[in-house]
Amino acid sequence: MDLSSTPRLSEQLREKIEENIVTGTFCPGVRLDEVDLAETYGVSRTPIREALIQLEAAGFINKRLRKGWEVASIPASRLCEMFDVMAELEAMCGRLAARRATEAETRQIRSAHLACLKAKEASDPAEYYRLNEAFHLAIYEASHNSFLIEQASTLHRRLRPYRRLQLRVRNRMHTSFDEHEGIVKAIENGMGDLACDMLRAHVVVQGERFTDLVSSLESMTSSRMAVEA
């Protein structure tokens, strides 16, 4: 069996390419060649193509006729707007989860939160993000609103690399874990308005802090492109 064609590998490759885009290694307008990427990561073209299709669906790259794939331009102001919307969607999920979550779903949210502890103590942002994502998705599911779950999940995927990278900011994992604790308690106690407010603040802080980082990265990218020109 060719492991290079497994979905898990394509997801790993998508994350690697996402991070290169976010950090400016792959600048807006840069062409992404399947053959070059396959050689860089030591895999066949199949998982690379699957990863690129996923990235196009998420809006990170565009398919150009007869020109292959090209990195899309995402201004910091656009990211800030997306985080604003994400904050409101998550706030709604929190309010509804506090009202509608079953006992089993509440336990799942608590369990997902506690699972983040080991990664936090190990200062492992990648693992923390993976577990953090499960925590947020558990809250979405507990809202019992299928349309809201769909919209929140879609935007969550779109912002995945930005939410993952901001965890590298000093002390952010510890702050995030503490914020999660308050959110869990609010949901457990059926305090919908509090859960709503805490989730909104939790995501808006992410957006504001990371927008500052993205602005710096854009400046660095512009300077590098000017030097290369």
pLDDT digits (tens, 9 = 90+) for 38-97: 999 999 999 999 999 999 988 889 998 777 899 987 777 788 888 899 999 999 999 999
| Whole-angstrom distance, CA of residue 169 vs CA of residue 224 | 23
pTM: 0.75
Which region among 5-9, 124-128, 164-168 has the lowest average model confidence (pLDDT)? 5-9
The range of the structural domain enclosing residue 10 comes to: 3-73
| Whole-angstrom distance, CA of residue 51 vs CA of residue 12 | 8
| Whole-angstrom distance, CA of residue 178 vs CA of residue 183 | 9
21 and 35 share a domain? Answer: yes
36 and 134 share a domain? Answer: no
More confident residue, 170 or 109: 109
142 and 213 share a domain? Answer: yes
Read off the pLDDT band of 171 (50, 70, 90).
confident
Residue 225 has pLDDT above 60, yes or no: no
Give the CA-trace dihedral at 17, 22, 23, 26, to 10 degrees: 50
Question: How far is it between the farthest Cα atoms of the chain?
Answer: 60
Residue 1 has pLDDT above 60, yes or no: no
| Whole-angstrom distance, CA of residue 35 vs CA of residue 18 | 18
57 and 90 share a domain? Answer: no
The answer to whether residue 229 sits within a structural domain is no
In contact, 155 and 82? CB cutoff 8 Å? yes
